[in-house]
Amino acid sequence: MDIVPLIYIKNRKLLGAVEGKTLSINELPESSDGETVYVKDFDGIEKNVPNLNIYQKLSDKHNMWIDAGPRTFGDVVDIVMAGANRITITGNLFPMKDVPNIKEVTDSMVYANADFEKELDIAFALPPGVDGLVVFNDKNQIGLDFKAGELLKAICIKYKVYASEVDENNISYWKNMGVAGVLLDLERFKLVNKDDFRS
């Protein structure tokens, strides 16, 4: 199972947790073994102002998985050109029917953001070209809802699913659910021995 460090951009600042301290690019873990860093860009998602210049700087040393809320095909192209190896699209922002067009111009992997409380239909109707799902529902939302938990297990059989997590103590829970990986806030990522969770 992959454990991917998750960083945030908010108001043009890098953060190691949603309410964490401001980071410099040099504080990110080295990616000598091709390690990927997941970037959730709230400026892009909420304001449609992605931080392309920050992605370019980060991509010099890191494989980048960018979640910036692209709205159009042109937005996706900009994110890929800024250095993304993987991108996440959100169904209520980007038309899922346009995903196959992305694959015509890039080899970057494309993931769909699925909210188990609002967008279950996305999980069952992924168009060709979507490589997997990213779930930002926490362990309590999934664990307390038997139906959601069983649904997640079924989806993990069909697709590569990555779950976002803020507590390293919950990684084993996600592994037992069958996810391909966990996106773990950078502040907590530094505390984890990734070898403990490799399959």
95-115 pLDDT per residue, tens: 888 888 888 888 889 999 877
Return the number of other C-beta atoms located less than 10 Å from residue 196's C-beta.
10
Amino acid at 59: S
More confident call, 4 vs 30 = 4
Going by pLDDT thresholds of 50, 70 and 90, the confidence category of residue 82 is very high
Return the number of other C-beta atoms located less than 10 Å from residue 88's C-beta.
28
Is the pLDDT score of 31 beyond 60?
no
Percent of all residues in the chain with a pLDDT value above 90, rounded to a whole number: 36
More confident call, 145 vs 42 = 42
> Domain-by-domain residue ranges, the chain?
2-192
Backbone angles phi, psi at 34, to 5 degrees: 80, 20
Q: What is the predicted pLDDT for the residue at 143?
A: 65
Report the pLDDT averaged over residues 49-66: 92
Architecture label for domain 2-192: Alpha-Beta Barrel (3.20)
CA trace torsion 8, 186, 145, 149 (10° rounding)? 110
pTM of the predicted model as reported, rounded to 2 decimal places: 0.89
Q: What is the predicted pLDDT for the residue at 10?
A: 95
Is the pLDDT score of 74 beyond 80?
yes
